[in-house]
Amino acid sequence: MIGYAFMGRAHSQAWRTVAAAFDVPQVARRVIVGRDESAVAEAARRLDWEEHSTDWRAVIDREDVDVVDICTPGFLHAEIAIAALEAGKHVLCEKPLANDAAEAEAMVAAADAAQRRGQIAALGFTYRRVPALALAKRYVQEGKLGTVRQAKAAYLQDWLVDEEAPMSWRLRQETAGSGALGDIASHAIDQVQHLTGQSVTAVRGRLATIVPERPGQDGPEAVTVDDAAWATLELDGGALASVEVSRMATGAKNRLTVELFGTRGALRFDLENPNELWFLDATRPVAEQGFTRVLVTEPEHPYLEAWWPQGHVLGWENAFSNQARDLLVAIRDRETTDAPGYSPDFADGLALQRVLDAIIASDAADGATVAVTDHLHR
């Protein structure tokens, strides 16, 4: 695993627990990689890795490494992922895939070649593995919503409300690519496309840098990415969607909300209540209609067969174990059959990057409608 901070901790937890929860092979956590020798050594001890290293290039050539898990900032994704794929490894890369479409295109080319050799190139949109959102996907596929006409997604956080919050790599364009747009709007847009089964064809977007300067190590430093973003999306199945994201939403800690409205029903989800899905059956008489709370903890619900008895809720980190399970199953199946592999993959990441690029272009054009170029059907 390359990277050991926030996402490195979450992924390490998943690799520790996946075989205890699911019927998959035990994963040997061989080596964790970071630039700071003392910090990565401490991470290896605390996160229970056998070894640590500061040289990712040497690690990906090791014969005892089968999977490379990339948890670095986005500007490092392309170089590491391409090298790992060319070295014959399966790759899991955190989202967003890259900082721009050109990098993402190079990653997809490497992934296509690797997939023909039987490798997996997986993208870490972990919220697809939240059981309640996986159940929402099932409801849409089963026709419970009918034709989805409208979607609304918001991802609101408040960790930058304080204007004295310090500068970080997430606030620099050269390392992060974009701000709230790439970091959390990518999740919201992925949920819109994944749940509806429709792809974005055109956007109208606006970006805002609400606090333009933050305290840096050498004094005030300019923030070069967005703090908040808004977009309306046109989808190829005829639906329309709105997306709002912010790191400046006072009181919102990690609030990803998704609402879908169809001809036969509607649903809504809030990540701050991750075990609940609310569903309205519009085929019932009007006098009997209303949103029903589904507590997603039954063995019949997605992924729940591996976890706890009914009513014993899951947490944010369990989705990472579910993601690790799906990746291991995809690797196993690719080695024995012609199974399609893992979703989302690098091609999905490129398609989403083009949506993000279109939102940036729309903002530069004062909110004009911008087509998503080289549209990829999912």
Q: What is the CATH number of the domain that holds 223?
A: 3.30.360.10
Residues 67 and 179 in one domain: no
Contact 83, 121 (CB under 8 A): no
> What are the tens digits of pLDDT across the range 21-35?
999 999 999 999 999
Q: What is the mean pLDDT of the chain?
A: 95
The number of angstroms, rounded, from the C-alpha of 36 to the middle of its chain's C-alpha atoms is 26
- The crossing angle, in degrees rounded to 10, of helices 6-21 and 37-47 is 30
Contact 124, 95 (CB under 8 A): yes
Region 260-275 average pLDDT: 98
Residues 33 and 146 in one domain: no
88: left (phi over 0), alpha (psi -120 to 50) or beta: left
Contact 1, 327 (CB under 8 A): no
- Report yes or no on 231 lying in a domain: yes
Give the Cβ contact number of residue 314 at 10 Å: 20
Residues 115 and 137 in one domain: no
> What are the tens digits of pLDDT across the range 195-237?
999 999 999 999 999 999 999 999 999 999 999 999 999 999 9
What value, to the nearest 5°, has the Cα angle with vertex 276 and ends 274 and 279? 135
Q: What is the chain's percent helix, strand, coil content, to nearest 5?
A: 40, 25, 40
Considering the entire predicted model, what is its pTM? 0.95
* For residue 309, cis peptide bond before it (omega within 30 degrees of 0): no
Residues 219 and 160 in one domain: yes
> What are the tens digits of pLDDT across the range 115-128?
999 999 999 999 99
Question: In the chain, how many domains are there?
Answer: 2
Residues 40 and 168 in one domain: no
- Report yes or no on 317 lying in a domain: no
Residues 58 and 153 in one domain: no
Residues 151 and 277 in one domain: yes
Residues 194 and 217 in one domain: yes
Region 345-372 average pLDDT: 97
